[in-house]
Amino acid sequence: MKKIASVLSAVVLVAFAFGTDISVAEQVSVGEPAPDFELVDQKGQLHSIEDYRGKWIALYFYPKDGTPGCTTEACEFRDNIFAFREANCQILGVSLDDEESHKAFAEKHGLPFPLLADTKGSTADAYGVKSRIMGMTLAKRQTFLIDPEGNVAKHYEKVDPEAHSAEILADLEKLQMD
């Protein structure tokens, strides 16, 4: 089973590296209301945009639990959790993996934020990040920073998993000063 997971991880990484993904829908634009959703997290709790009115949201989409880039990105968010809390920003991770996969991933890496199971891909589709890669449907690694009123304040189309958490925190500081 581990060998299959390793091969799948390699295929996903190669596909993203060589840009062989095909978008399924148009992306949400900055300034537009963030599409709402109702998704279950790794603890079985339901989440929606409306649950976080009055807070900033870092809604980050990622391809697959347990892959190297996704693990790096999640752990960077984890390591900066107190700075996000201080900035009144809720981190929400979203992939097309199921609740059980998210539970194992979150437990293994001590992730203190919800990982939302978009198993049907409807939320990834609404945000324009659902893609088909070599016959697989995955979410692209992209983030939407949503303001306390529920509008998209910033869209990160190119994400470096090692620097992304710090990048969002710096942008949050600038946006909160305006």
Q: So which residues are the catalytic ones? A: 70
**CB–CB of 136/16 below 8 Å?**
no
